[in-house]
Amino acid sequence: MKHSDTAKRVVRNVSFLRVAAAFVMGFCALSCAAGAASAASAGRNDLIFSINADIVAVDPAAQRDTVTGIVVSQLYDTLIHKTSSGKLEPGLATEWKIADDGLSLTFTIRNGVKFHNGDTMTAEDVAFSLNRAIKSSLTSNVSSMMAGASEVDGSHVRLDLKNQFAPVLECVAATGLSVVSKRAVEELGDDGFRKAPVGTGPYKFVSWKGGDRIIMTAFDDHWRGKPSIKDVTFLIMTDKSTAAIALQNDEIDVLYDPAFTDKKALTGLPNVTFSEIDSATLIYIISFNNKKGVFADKRLREAVAYAINRSDIVEGALEGNGSPVEMPISPTCAGFYDPSYKFYPQDVDKAKGLLKEAGHPDGITVPIRLNQSSLYTKPAEVVQAQLRKAGINVQFELMERATYLSEIYEDMNYEITLYMFSTIYDDPDYIFFGRLHSSNIGNTNYANYSNPEVDELIMKARSSNDHGERVRLYREISDAVKEDIPFIPLMTSSSTIASNSKLRGVVPSAASLFYVYDYSWAK
Amino acid sequence: MIRYIGQRLLMMIPVILGISFIIFSIMNLTKGDPARLILGEGATLEAIEAKREELGLNDAFIVRYAKYIARVAIGDFGRSYRTDAPVSEEIFSRFPTTFYIAFLGILFATLFAVPVGVISAVKQYSAIDIITTVVAMLLTSMPGFFVGMLLILSFALMLRIFPATGIGTWRHFILPSLSVASVTMANFIRMTRSTMLEVIRQDYVRTARAKGASMRRVIFTHCLRNSLLPVVTVVGINFGVQLGGTIMIEAVFAIPGLGTYMINAIRQKDIPAVMGSVIFAAIVAGIINLAVDILYAYIDPRVKSHYERFTKRGRRNAQRS
């Protein structure tokens, strides 16, 4: 009896061990089969590019964030190509003409451009792609002014606008309006297309493993010629310091948006090149609720404007990696931004005087509502210290992004807030129309600002095609902002990129545009 | 036994309904408009409204919940708001990674902790006991991501033995698994040690020794088996927790597992993705608990006799007595 019991147990133990062993071996086999990406240095024709978030799609009509834009822009081309330095060049359109009434554009389509599936691109594909993006609610931020596109003849496409819109070329150049293969979309459907996208870009899609990596390979028939680097992997690394270590270890070749805190460590390395440029897309502002609460009193808004010191905020919050912005225009908007323009100089006594005048001789205490990410709390801490000196005590009320957008954008349930946003197209219209036009109250105009004169100026400036007139109009609107202080422009942060120093062609981009096509390995 | 398993599986349904209702309520009743989050900065009000309509967000809360559960019942977890891909596809593509790391981590921890726990119980208050207690305390006080960072610094950056990030070969799994192990190990050591200490003082242990059984035999066959039950429970619970995704560790090692998926989904208010991963994690936890209960039967015959009540013969026996 006892004997057989022991025997049974032994058998059971052995079979358990066998199962466990099979498990471990199976696991090893599986993981070994997955294959590794190793980075040897000499004679390479592959590239590993790390991004800090997963993308949302490989379909341009679903693209709406920077990281997705970086990946999508390798796979597709736009009619107008925007270079890393922000210049607009002919892309899939060789030339374009704006109609005299400013309500339509006609594009001449480049001949002989091949899609990844071997088809030749036609005017039909172009019109189809534009209409697809216009219809998609996901790309409304660059296509809301467009009415529709139509094929004029075999080599011309007309884009109709709902209203005159000066920065329309910037929008046509947006990644969201890339050209896709009509046949592929129709045959595969939207779902199928997202698994096997077909564009004209220098790289062909291979695979996308959610949360892990996107793999693509060179498209040899690309219209600008074969790319220098053959295999490209976009690796998703959400932790920036981990990514910095990986770059240091040659595990990755390009690191998009490294943390400012890693800058010092990375710049000192022989195998890494770190570069930065003032970002066109990231603008920090302090906003007030102009109609409700203490800051409905203009004198208090003015007091805040006098109390802050931009250079100290850039130093304290961005470790110097940014620039003060004194005009409500992105500094990269060439011709519009005037570097000599001054908003309000720091003058704490004047701020205190204004408080007294407004009936608060002992200062005020007011909550500042913020998105809880350190992107916003860090600059807000510096602002808090500066305001305290003038007698304005702001107390932090932190919330997550979803709540923040709902409370601030929709309900305007706040007194003062500090926010950073990205300008989707690089034109003064983006900030002025979004943040100041009364039609955007309940959306991006959460300052709750409505001024019929400013509304009119904004509409006039966006529909004018005369650069000189636009410069003058935007100057006028900037003066109105300075007069009414619905919000205070603060600063812009740097756009950074770090890469293996043997890699050529990597340049920092104010608009966060990075084209692997421009890169090559040093011989 | 099979009947028992069937009953336990059926009992999971109300649990999952309850969990799903709570999470769905939290996601829907807290502030924040998913449509606005999806479309991002600069979307027009018309686009936001169109998106709300498309996602069915204008329906009443309870209608949305009923619709959701009806779809889940036929195995459709919906599409992620963020990527528009089926949630079940995204979960299944990430689960193996999380599973391997959790499994290896728990395996490392158990293989190390049980012998160490036994030794420190047998040699209570010896140098080895004190050292393991101190080490266990240290590990408990260090969060997993911090251990992960230390491991990256030493093994990836200085010694260059293992890669710092990502997944691919078996070498990629070692450091994350060790981080998981370090978090859970201390708990296992303590558990093994304290239950061992309890069992060692039992009368039958003394009897066995008095009968002339060797020390080794007494410890490994009499004591260990009797003290394993609580240890198995703790190991099982920890395994379930790790399978839900080790968010911090996945973030540190840039691993595309369930944890990172879930945390991103929560941040983006991607309701279908959150719901899908929570329900999935609940099912996995339920199955592991069940597996642990079944394992009890193999370790302890007293538990096994309890299960027999669920078989026909068992019930007959019970009636007869």
Q: What is the pLDDT of residues A67-118, one digit of tens each?
A: 999 999 999 999 999 999 889 999 999 999 999 998 999 999 999 999 999 9
Decide if A210 and B256 are in contact by the 8 Å CB cutoff: yes
Decide if B257 and A140 are in contact by the 8 Å CB cutoff: no
Extract the tokens encoding A462. 């966006």
Q: How far apart are CA B79 and CA B284, in angstroms?
A: 21
In a domain, B37, yes or no: no
Q: What percent of chain B has pLDDT over 70?
A: 95
Q: Report yes or no: B242 and B106 within 8 Å, Cβ to Cβ.
A: yes
- The angle at the Cα of A516, spanning A514 to A521, to the nearest 5 degrees, equals 125
Which residues from chain B sit within 8 angstroms of residue A237, using beta carbons? 165-166, 254
Which residues from chain B sit within 8 angstroms of residue A401, using beta carbons? 32, 37, 267
- For residue A27, pLDDT beyond 70: no
Decide if A141 and B42 are in contact by the 8 Å CB cutoff: yes
- Give me the residue from A32, A239, A401 closest to B267, CB to CB: A401
* B92 near A CB under 8 A: no
Decide if B251 and A239 are in contact by the 8 Å CB cutoff: yes
pLDDT interval class at A13 (50, 70, 90): very low
* B233 near A CB under 8 A: no
In a domain, B26, yes or no: no
State which residue of chain B sits closest to A33, comparing Cα positions: B169
Decide if B45 and A443 are in contact by the 8 Å CB cutoff: yes
pLDDT interval class at A36 (50, 70, 90): very low
First-to-final CA distance of chain A: 78
For residue B31, the distance in angstroms to the closest alpha carbon of chain A comes to: 5
What is the per-residue pLDDT across B196-216, written as a single tens digit (0 to 9) for each? 888 888 888 888 888 888 888
Q: How far apart are CA A146 and CA A164, in angstroms?
A: 10
Decide if A212 and B47 are in contact by the 8 Å CB cutoff: no
Q: Which of A128-132, A317-321, A456-460 has the lowest mean pLDDT?
A: A317-321
Q: Please give the pLDDT value at position A122.
A: 95
Extract the tokens encoding B18. 């309850």
3-state secondary structure at position B132: helix
pLDDT interval class at B165 (50, 70, 90): confident
- Give me the residue from A251, A401, A405 closest to B163, CB to CB: A251
Half-sphere exposure of A403 (CA within 13 A, CB side): 16
What is the per-residue pLDDT across A148-194, written as a single tens digit (0 to 9) for each? 999 999 999 999 999 999 999 999 999 999 999 999 999 999 889 98
Q: Please give the pLDDT value at position B304.
A: 73
The CATH code of the domain that includes B282 is 1.10.3720.10
- For residue B314, pLDDT beyond 70: no
How many structural domains compose chain B?
Answer: 1
In a domain, B259, yes or no: yes
What is the per-residue pLDDT across B237-268, written as a single tens digit (0 to 9) for each? 889 888 876 788 888 887 888 888 888 888 88
**Structural domain span for residue B135:** 87-320
Name which of B66, B295, B161, B292 is nearest A249 in CA terms: B161
Q: Please give the pLDDT value at position B5.
A: 84
In a domain, B236, yes or no: yes
From residue B42, alpha-carbon distances to A26, A287, A373, B35, B38 in Å are: 49, 17, 20, 13, 11
In a domain, B43, yes or no: no
Which residues from chain B sit within 8 angstroms of residue A421, using beta carbons? 41-42
Which residues from chain A sit within 8 angstroms of residue B253, using beta carbons? 242
State which residue of chain A sits closest to B168, comparing Cα positions: A36
Q: Of residues B175 and B215, which shows the higher confidence score?
A: B175
For residue B14, the distance in angstroms to the closest alpha carbon of chain A comes to: 30
- The angle at the Cα of B72, spanning B69 to B74, to the nearest 5 degrees, equals 120
Q: Please give the pLDDT value at position A519.
A: 95
Q: Please give the pLDDT value at position A2.
A: 42
For residue A35, the distance in angstroms to the closest alpha carbon of chain B comes to: 6
The continuous run of DSSP H or E covering A208 comes out as: strand A203-209
Segment 262-281 of chain B within 8 Å of chain A by CB: 264, 267-269
In a domain, B261, yes or no: yes
Name which of B57, B41, B28, B23 is nearest A371 in CA terms: B41
State which residue of chain B sits closest to A429, comparing Cα positions: B42
3-state secondary structure at position B254: coil
Number of cross-chain residue pairs from A and B with Cβ atoms under 8 Å apart: 171
- For residue A40, pLDDT beyond 50: no
A441: left (phi over 0), alpha (psi -120 to 50) or beta: beta
- For residue A453, pLDDT beyond 90: yes
